[in-house]
């Protein structure tokens, strides 16, 4: 009787499994607990398997339930995507378009893309936010933006579609007066660990328990890239910054690159960036135009430097 399966049953099954109990699942669905229990019992009868073990204080997934849970999620994801696509086909130009950009991505390129969009579709209201690390992904998860630009491979989600944009050079730097900058030899991990490292924190809980790219036990953690740059310029400590943000300081030698091979060739790491969106939401006219502009303006990777995967996650 598989033809009798309903999307409502599958959604209840997934919600109860994620909530941990029939009561909590019913609350999320704004349904009566008895109705949810009855629907899942019917689903078990139609599938001829037990999805939950109800012998304990809380229902737990059986082996069959755990296997079928992923199938149910996949079906619901496809349905949501189909609905979003159909909705997009029937809609016109968006009233508002929101973009969240990782702090590593070159803002001049974003500005150029938004400028093109503004000329083509002046009636669309635009919103731009800049956030580090898990910020762009969380904004997408919470439906607070239409598009996001993410950096690196540390924050992946099967519900989020990504398209590669470009690599961004991240350089290890210190102020000219800093002890590390006065050393001309290749710096070891021990050399870096002896000095205070300025680190950008993740404003979300997505990287809880992870701390990559931090080589010193002495850290000063900040909430913005601007604060990090200012502290490094003042000689408080060393750190890693997007090259596009410090090109003038490097040219003037108020900041000097650190030859720290632990952080990439000559202390430079190439970070891959991605344009991201929710897979259950189709792109409207304005979002499609912005996507095309960002891809067109993205710079090709430099061929003179050997690319290396960045080692950033919970902090930068």
Range of 18's domain?
2-90
Do 254 and 288 have their domain in common?
A: no
Domain final residue pick, 90, 118, 152 = 90
Q: Is the pLDDT of residue 18 over 60?
A: yes
- What is the pLDDT of the chain when averaged over all its residues? 85
289, 97 contact by CB (below 8 A): no
Is residue 7 domain-shared with residue 86, that is, in the same domain? yes
Q: Check whether residue 199 and residue 162 sit in a common domain.
A: no
Q: 3-class DSSP state for residue 97?
A: strand
Q: How many domains does the chain have?
A: 3
Are 153 and 277 members of one domain? yes
* Statement: residue 130 has pLDDT above 90: yes
- Encode pLDDT of 146-189 as tens digits: 999 999 888 778 888 999 999 999 999 999 999 998 877 788 88
In a domain? residue 63 = yes
253 and 121 within one domain: no
What is the reported pLDDT for 13?
A: 92
Strands (E), 143-257: 147-151, 160-175, 197-200, 219-222, 239-242, 255-257
pLDDT value of position 159:
84
User: Is the pLDDT assigned to residue 32 strictly greater than 50?
Assistant: yes
pTM: 0.66
207 in a structural domain: yes
Last residue of a domain, one of 26, 58, 90: 90
pLDDT exceeds 80 at position 208 = no
Residues 254 and 277 grouped into a single domain: no
- 70, 90, 110: which is the final residue of a domain? 90
| Domain contains 310 | no
Start-to-end Cα distance in the chain: 54
Of 244, 267, 246, 277, nearest to 105 by C-alpha is 244
Residue burial 204-216, b: 16+ Cβ < 10 Å; e: rest: bebbeeeeebbbb
Which whole-number Å values give the CA distances from 172 to 67, 304, 312, in the listed order? 46, 18, 13
12 domain-assigned: yes
Q: What percent of the chain clears pLDDT 70, i.e. is strictly above it? A: 89
Hey, what are 53's tokens? Answer: 């073990």
Considering the domain boundaries, does residue 309 fall inside one?
no
User: pLDDT of 49-93, one tens digit each?
Assistant: 999 999 888 899 999 999 999 999 888 888 876 766 565 555 567
CATH of the domain at 44: 1.10.10.10
- Is 80 in the same domain as 107? no
User: pLDDT tens-digit profile of 254-311?
Assistant: 999 998 888 777 778 899 999 999 988 888 889 999 999 999 998 765 543 333 333 3
Report the CATH number at residue 204: 3.40.190.290
């Amino acid at each position: 009787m598989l033809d009798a399966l309903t999307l409502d049953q599958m959604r209840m099954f997934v919600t109860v499994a994620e909530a941990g109990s029939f009561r909590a699942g019913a609350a999320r669905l704004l349904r009566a607990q008895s109705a949810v229990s009855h629907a899942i019992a019917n689903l078990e009868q139609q599938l001829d398997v037990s999805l939950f073990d109800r012998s304990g204080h809380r229902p737990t997934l059986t082996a069959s339930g755990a296997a079928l849970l992923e199938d149910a999620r996949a079906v619901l994801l496809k349905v949501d995507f189909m609905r979003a696509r159909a909705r997009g086909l029937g809609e016109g130009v968006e009233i508002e378009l929101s973009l969240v950009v990782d702090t590593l991505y070159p803002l001049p390129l974003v500005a150029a893309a938004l400028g093109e969009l503004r000329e083509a579709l002046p009636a669309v209201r635009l919103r731009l936010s800049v956030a580090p690390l898990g910020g762009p992904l969380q904004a997408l998860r919470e439906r607070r933006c239409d598009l996001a630009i993410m950096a690196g491979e540390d924050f992946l989600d099967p519900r989020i579609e990504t398209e590669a944009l470009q690599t961004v050079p991240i350089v290890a730097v210190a102020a000219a007066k800093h002890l590390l900058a006065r050393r001309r030899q290749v710096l070891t991990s021990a050399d870096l660990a002896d000095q205070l490292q300025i680190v950008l924190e993740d404003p979300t809980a997505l990287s809880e328990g992870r701390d990559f790219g931090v080589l010193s036990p002495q850290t000063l953690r900040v909430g913005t890239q601007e604060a990090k740059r200012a502290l490094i310029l003042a000689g408080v400590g060393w750190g890693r910054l997007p090259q596009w943000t410090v090109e003038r300081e490097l040219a003037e030698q108020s900041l000097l690159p650190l030859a720290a091979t632990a952080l990439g060739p000559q202390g430079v790491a190439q970070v891959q960036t991605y344009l991201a969106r929710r897979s259950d939401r189709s792109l409207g006219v304005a979002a499609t135009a912005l996507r095309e502009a960002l891809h067109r303006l993205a710079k090709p990777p430099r061929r003179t430097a050997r690319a290396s995967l960045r080692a950033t996650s919970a902090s930068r």
